[in-house]
Amino acid sequence: MDELSCETLLSYCDSDDYALQVKALIELPRTDFYEAVPKIIRLLKSPESGIRSCAAEALGYMGIEDLETVGPELMILLEDPEEMVRCEAVEALGSLGYTPAFEAIKSLLISDYWWLVRASAAEALGYLGEPEALETLELSLSNTNEYDPVRCYAANSIGLLATPQILPKLEDYLNSELPLSIKADLMGAIYHLGRKEYLNLLLGLLKDADELLAIGIFNILKDLKERKHDSTLAEDAPDIGEILSAIAQRFPILQYNVKQLMAH
């Protein structure tokens, strides 16, 4: 994007027009125009919750260049009265790897009343890389009264933070009565921790999945690929290409995902 366009987007940030501010907050993260960060930070204090949430999301992409300033400002939003604002702030802090937010985000996983904030917190804890989160994540995973997406993200983050010593416990969870979505994330976590046979078990689950579960499993496979398993997925599951192609035929919405996943 040229300099004039970036300057125009900066002017949108300063306007009082809601639509223009939203447009700027959507477009600026697609640029490398980090000079915009101070103006985006100011929008975290907007009276409009939609602007605050969009600004938090934008800083999740752009805040890394000035993390010492951006991190504390985002942490203020962890106590925002609007659920979606808290959600975007948690996700931004996780994406940025802002470890000073660890205790606050862990607290949200335990106590926030909105399940989507708790799900975002469970995911963010995996990105923050603090093994001290494992006990809290296990409590969420084992809580049968918790919403399934929260438990799924907890399983995924456990796979990121734990060592192979936790594998027997994860296998015990897997053998209990659990929704298939949670089983899928557990299989992904166990595979990530070194049990290669669980990739084929995950693909077996995919073969018989409905569309919603198939989308979830594709997201797990995408995450595994991004975690440096790209070179081993086909080696550990030689039939993966055939299985993915068959699923793409069943659910056309996933055809693009299959192409991306199979691209090298």
DSSP string, 165-194: GGHHHHHHHHTSS--HHHHHHHHHHHHHTT
- Tell me which residue has tokens 């086909």: 234
Beta-carbon count within 10 A of 194 CB: 10
Per-residue pLDDT of the chain (264 residues; tens, 9 = 90+): 444 488 899 999 999 999 999 999 999 999 888 999 999 999 999 999 999 999 999 999 999 999 999 999 999 999 999 999 999 999 999 999 999 999 999 999 999 999 999 999 999 999 999 999 999 999 999 999 999 999 999 999 999 999 999 999 999 999 999 999 999 999 999 999 999 999 999 999 999 999 999 999 999 999 998 886 656 888 888 899 899 999 999 999 999 888 888 875
Question: What is the reported pTM?
Answer: 0.92
**pLDDT at res. 209:** 95
**Could you tell me the domains of the chain?**
1-96 (1.25.10.10)
Element (H, E) at 18: helix 18-27
Residue type, 204: G
Instruction: Please give the Cα distance from 205 to 247 (Å, whole number).
Output: 11
Instruction: Please give the Cα distance from 92 to 56 (Å, whole number).
Output: 6
Instruction: Please give the Cα distance from 53 to 186 (Å, whole number).
Output: 31
Instruction: Please give the Cα distance from 50 to 247 (Å, whole number).
Output: 37
**pLDDT at res. 252:** 93
Element (H, E) at 102: helix 102-111
**pLDDT at res. 264:** 59
**pLDDT at res. 1:** 46
Do 158 and 189 form a contact (C-beta atoms < 8 A)? yes
Phi, psi of 69 (to 5 degrees): -90, -45
Do 87 and 116 form a contact (C-beta atoms < 8 A)? yes
